[in-house]
């Protein structure tokens, strides 16, 4: 059962190859995680996952997707995260966090409330981006970042990473996917700059590399750094797998330890070929050609399917999202189906 083999990343040992993918809960208050987050993340740690990654957490206030997103740009937020981290760790899972900046996809509604922009009069703000191009007509038009603003973003990631380590997080992930700020710089569809931050491939990847280097510089050598990327925009002329492979190899040299491979989110014109494990081939090719560990995510739902991804060497880690919303104890069910022996909390021992 390869799925239940431990995974070593630098000085951190995951008890298995199952990770909770970061999933926004839209339930924070002024960026502060609430009891909901303790129960949400804690239950998946009890459920047996090896790595529990907290949702896309904003590195500055204007980097939130919505006003209800979590943050880690101040001490009050960090204090609230600490108790959640402690509980996750006591259950044998490794606590991780995804550091994020939404860029032009910021200042939008909570999904179950509505869609599109939240105006400043209603608690929103003017977002920032590489270029003054809105994601879609019902999203806010961002301000294009200048050099000073870009420096602020890099420092915000650096400071957020430092706070995350102080909270006790043992894995840090940089969010450079799903059409958020770092991805916006990567893709020629959203980056129309003509300065040193746009145009050529080397210029478009400059911010992502600078953020990874900044985060790596402030986290301990023994802690792993993950980077989530969208392997393709699913739009002609956009970011694609070939560029993702090249970027991943460079990020390895910058101190990244694993590429968390997703796709899409940059353009409403995307045409995604959905199907079980539809993103796994991207993770496999990046792993093979860039020579870096990868995580696979996307419609991975069955234990035998997840086992095959690891057994075939297509990825080093599988990340589950919606399936773990449906069943927080999926890892325990997978262990039964695959014949693996795993530890069970003493409080639940009578059920096993």
Q: Are 31 and 77 in contact (CB under 8 A)?
A: yes
Q: Are 45 and 15 in contact (CB under 8 A)?
A: no
Q: Are 93 and 47 in contact (CB under 8 A)?
A: no
d(CA 130, CA 190): 7
d(CA 69, CA 346): 34
Given 139, 180, 278, 329, the catalytic residue: 180
| Residue 180 annotated among the catalytic residues of the structure | yes
Q: What share of the chain is helix, strand, coil (3-state, %, to 5)?
A: 40, 15, 45
For every residue of 107-132, DSSP letters joined together read: SB--TTT--SB--GGGT----EESSS
- Counting Cα atoms < 13 Å in the Cβ hemisphere of 62 gives 18
Residue 258 is inside which H or E element, if any? strand 258-262
The b/e string for 221-230 (b: 16+ C-beta within 10 A; e otherwise) is eebbbbbbbb
**Tokens, residue 106:** 């910021």
**Tokens, residue 25:** 């809960």
**What are the residue numbers of the active site?**
180
């Amino acid at each position: 059962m390869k799925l239940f083999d431990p995974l070593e990343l630098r000085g951190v040992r995951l008890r298995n190859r199952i990770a909770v993918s970061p999933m926004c809960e839209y339930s924070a208050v002024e960026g502060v995680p609430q009891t909901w987050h303790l129960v949400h993340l804690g239950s998946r740690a009890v459920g047996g996952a090896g790595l529990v990654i907290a949702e896309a957490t904003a590195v500055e206030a204007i980097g939130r997707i919505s006003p209800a997103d979590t943050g880690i740009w101040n001490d009050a937020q960090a204090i609230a995260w600490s108790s959640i981290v402690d509980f996750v760790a006591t259950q044998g899972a490794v606590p991780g966090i995804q550091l994020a900046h939404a860029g032009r996809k910021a200042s939008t509604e909570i999904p179950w409330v509505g869609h599109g922009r939240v105006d400043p009069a209603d608690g929103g703000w003017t977002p920032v981006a590489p270029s003054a191009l809105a994601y879609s007509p019902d999203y806010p038009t961002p301000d294009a970042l200048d050099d000073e603003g870009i420096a602020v973003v890099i420092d915000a990631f650096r400071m957020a990473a430092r706070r995350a380590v102080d909270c006790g997080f043992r894995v840090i992930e940089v969010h450079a996917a799903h059409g958020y700020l770092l991805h916006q710089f990567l893709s020629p569809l959203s980056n129309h700059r003509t300065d040193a931050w746009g145009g050529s491939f080397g210029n478009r990847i400059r911010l992502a590399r600078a953020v990874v280097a900044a985060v790596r510089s402030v986290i301990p050598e023994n802690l792993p750094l993950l980077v989530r990327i969208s392997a393709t925009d699913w739009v002609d002329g956009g970011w694609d797998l070939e560029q993702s492979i090249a970027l991943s190899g460079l990020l390895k040299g910058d101190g990244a330890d694993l590429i968390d491979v997703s796709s899409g989110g940059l353009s409403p014109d995307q045409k995604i070929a959905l199907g079980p494990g539809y993103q796994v081939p991207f993770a496999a090719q990046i792993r093979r050609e860039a020579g870096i560990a990868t995580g696979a995510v996307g419609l991975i739902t069955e234990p035998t399917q997840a086992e095959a991804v690891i057994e075939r060497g297509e990825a080093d880690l599988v990340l589950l999202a919606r399936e773990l919303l449906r069943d927080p104890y999926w890892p325990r069910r997978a262990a039964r189906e695959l014949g693996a022996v795993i530890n069970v909390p003493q409080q639940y021992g009578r059920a096993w």
